[in-house]
């Protein structure tokens, strides 16, 4: 996607977001229909080592669905969703307190940037200049580096709109941070709707050309966080191809059709059905089958034990499907529950990994005067 296409895409996406959300980012009273039905509360969650106060915001709708988000890393710490019997259960992996998040974790529930996924050897060239990023994953750059957006304190304000309640987060990523060029001004809005949707809207501007690839990194277990593995979950991915990777999970440049391979989720199948045929498990970018710009369904996941159903809709061209391969039972999460291998899955809407080094991939370069926009929606229901 070159600059002209990116500008056209930006116009289409801006219109899509306005039509799809109708969100006013400045907090105001809820509509008469929602009054009393949607709630947002705030409490102190702890302090960073340098003394900064971190808060926890609780969003709740009339159905009882509850989302807890902290402005440290924009982390979704809890997501309570009803099952087929109407019982609420927490379906995201995480911790009970800030101290445990500060100690380090595999990006549970966090906002990711400046570049989600991997950049080979932390190096790329832009406008003839070579850049070296922080390397934090087998010599590669992963999820923004040593201190990505998952480890910073975002400024936060409450959002109330006719569509629901939410949290608006802002962060200024300064020129040179983790090696990236340019100051990047980012706004992310989480919104909980009465229809049991968690919407995430991203926007960013830069004063120098820079790669940008923002995403969200919740680990889901629709049976309930800490309740076994996700291998029996049934998954459908709206993708007929994926980006092939090498042993260090860096794209080779090949885009391969999923037909006839273990990567074919075009029809629902369990995660465990063919995972043994994929070395290390699924941790791959799927090329979404898109017919136009705008919000389209990317994935559907169903857990037969709880009857919970989750859909992922996005404006992005790719979706990273990760099956918790690096979890090993050593992490104790909420309520002391152990998170085993394959204890959660991630569906990260994104541009392709290592795109700055692959001109054949859709471009991730944001230029001054343009606005990065993205929307991803997680929709929850039960299968009757």
User: Is residue 110 pLDDT above 60, yes or no?
Assistant: yes
Measure the CA–CA gap between 119 and 133, rounded to whole angstroms. 9
| Each residue's pLDDT tens digit, 285-311 | 999 998 888 999 999 999 999 999 999
Q: What percent of the chain has pLDDT over 70?
A: 91
pLDDT for the residue numbered 384: 81
- Within 10 A of 162 (CB to CB), how many other CB atoms are there? 14
For the stretch 347-384, pLDDT in tens is 999 999 999 999 999 999 999 999 999 999 999 999 98
Catalytic residue (one of 141, 178, 348, 358): 348
9 vs 329: which has the higher pLDDT: 329
74's torsion region: left (phi>0), alpha (psi -120 to 50) or beta? left
- CA 340 to chain CA mean position, Å: 21
The CATH number covering residue 103 comes to 2.70.98.10
| Active-site residue flag, 254 | no
The closest of 49, 215, 244 to 142, measured between CA atoms, is: 215
Task: Report pLDDT for 293.
Answer: 83
The position carrying tokens 């809207």 is 201
Q: List, as one string, the DSSP characters of 89-158.
A: EE-B---SSHHHHHT--S-TTEEE-SB-SEEGGGEEEETTEEEE----BTTBEETTSTT-GGGSBPEEEE
Q: Is 217 a catalytic residue?
A: yes
Q: Which has the closest alpha carbon to 56: 66, 44, 48?
A: 44
Domain span holding position 82: 3-382
pLDDT at 311: 98
pLDDT band at 2 (very low <50, low <70, confident <90, very high): very low
Q: Is 304 helix (H, G, I), strand (E, B) or coil?
A: coil
pLDDT number for residue 29: 30
Quick check: 19 pLDDT over 50? Answer: no
- What are the pLDDT digits (tens) for 318-358? 999 999 999 999 999 999 999 999 999 999 999 999 999 99
Q: Provide the number of structural domains found in the chain.
A: 1
Cβ-Cβ contacts under 8 Å for 278 (sequence gap 6 or more):
262, 263
pLDDT per residue as tens digits for the range 164-200: 999 999 999 999 999 999 999 999 999 999 999 999 9
Instruction: Convert the pLDDT of each residue in 41-90 to its tens digit.
Output: 999 999 999 999 999 999 999 999 999 999 999 999 999 999 999 999 99
Closest Cα partner for 78 from 100, 102, 57, 94?
94
User: What are the DSSP calls for 214-269, one per residue?
Assistant: -EEEPPB-TT-TTSS-STT-EEEE-EEEEEEE-TTS-EEEEEEE-TTSTT--SS-E
Model confidence, pTM: 0.90
Specify the pLDDT at position 269. Answer: 98
Mean pLDDT (the chain) is 92
pLDDT band for 275, please (50, 70, 90 cuts). Answer: very high
The predicted pLDDT at position 37 comes to: 81
Among residues 216, 217, 284, 351, the one annotated as catalytic is: 217
Residue 36 has pLDDT above 80, yes or no: no
pLDDT at 153 over 60: yes
């Amino acid at each position: 996607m070159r600059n002209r296409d990116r500008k056209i895409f930006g116009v289409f996406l801006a219109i899509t977001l306005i039509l799809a959300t109708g969100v006013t980012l400045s907090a105001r009273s809820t509509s008469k229909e929602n009054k009393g039905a949607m709630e947002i509360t705030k409490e102190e969650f702890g302090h960073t080592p340098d003394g900064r106060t971190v808060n926890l915001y609780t969003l709740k709708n009339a159905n009882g669905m509850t989302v807890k988000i902290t402005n440290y890393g924009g982390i979704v710490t809890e997501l309570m969703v009803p099952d087929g019997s109407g019982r609420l259960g927490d379906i995201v992996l995480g911790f009970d307190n800030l101290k445990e998040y500060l100690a380090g974790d595999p990006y549970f529930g966090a906002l990711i940037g400046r570049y989600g996924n991997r950049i080979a050897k932390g190096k790329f060239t832009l406008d003839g200049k070579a850049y070296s990023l922080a390397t934090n994953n087998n010599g590669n750059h992963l999820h923004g580096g040593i201190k990505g957006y998952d480890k910073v304190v975002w400024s936060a304000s409450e959002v109330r709109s006719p569509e629901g309640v939410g949290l608006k987060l802002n962060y200024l990523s300064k020129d040179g941070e983790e090696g990236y060029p340019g100051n990047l001004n980012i706004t992310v809005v989480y919104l909980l709707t009465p229809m049991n949707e968690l919407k995430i809207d991203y926007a960013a501007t830069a004063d120098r050309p820079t790669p940008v690839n923002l995403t969200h990194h919740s680990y889901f277990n629709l049976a309930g966080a800490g309740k076994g593995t996700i291998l029996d979950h049934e998954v459908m991915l709206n993708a007929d191809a994926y980006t092939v990777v090498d042993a260090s999970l860096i794209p080779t440049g090949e885009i391969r059709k999923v037909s006839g391979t273990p990567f074919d989720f075009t029809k629902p199948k369990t995660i465990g059905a063919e995972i043994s045929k994929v070395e290390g498990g699924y941790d791959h970018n799927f090329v979404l089958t898109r017919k136009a710009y705008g919000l389209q369904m990317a994935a559907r996941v169903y857990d037969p034990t709880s009857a919970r159903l989750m859909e992922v809709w996005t404006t992005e061209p790719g979706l990273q499907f990760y099956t918790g391969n690096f979890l090993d039972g050593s992490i104790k999460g909420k309520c002391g529950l152990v998170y085993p291998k394959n204890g959660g899955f991630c569906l990260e809407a994104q541009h392709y990994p290592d795109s700055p080094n692959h001109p054949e991939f859709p471009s991730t370069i944001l230029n001054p005067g343009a606005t990065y926009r993205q929307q991803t929606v997680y929709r929850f229901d039960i299968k009757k």
